[in-house]
Amino acid sequence: LPTNEKGGDLSLPAVVRKMVDGAESWDAVVSFCEDVISPASQKETVEREREISNPFPTRSTRTGRRRRADNAQFQPP
């Protein structure tokens, strides 16, 4: 089972039990979630805006055997 640095149980059932145990525990979980989710959300927003503003999006390229097979299909006549 996952534990915190003090050895407390961090399994989902244990966390949910603690969340509904009282307002203080609920507030602690809300604060933690906001601290974790907010930076990730901001990062996604910045990436999305960058993708929208880029008129030439990067394309992933295949390497190795699959690339050679793909290139062979598009040889000039």
**Would you say residue 3 has pLDDT above 80?**
no
Q: How far apart are CA 71 and CA 62, in angstroms?
A: 10
Does the pLDDT of residue 62 top 60, yes or no? no
pTM for the complete prediction?
0.44
Element (H, E) at 31: helix 23-53
Q: How far apart are CA 74 and CA 13, in angstroms?
A: 55
- Residues 39-54: tens digit of each pLDDT: 888 888 888 888 888 7
pLDDT in tens, 6-37: 668 878 898 899 889 999 988 888 888 888 78
The more confident residue out of 50 and 71 is 50
Supply the pLDDT for residue 57.
Answer: 59
> What is the spatial distance between Cα 49 and Cα 41, in angstroms, rounded to a whole number?
12
Cβ atoms 8, 25 nearer than 8 A: no
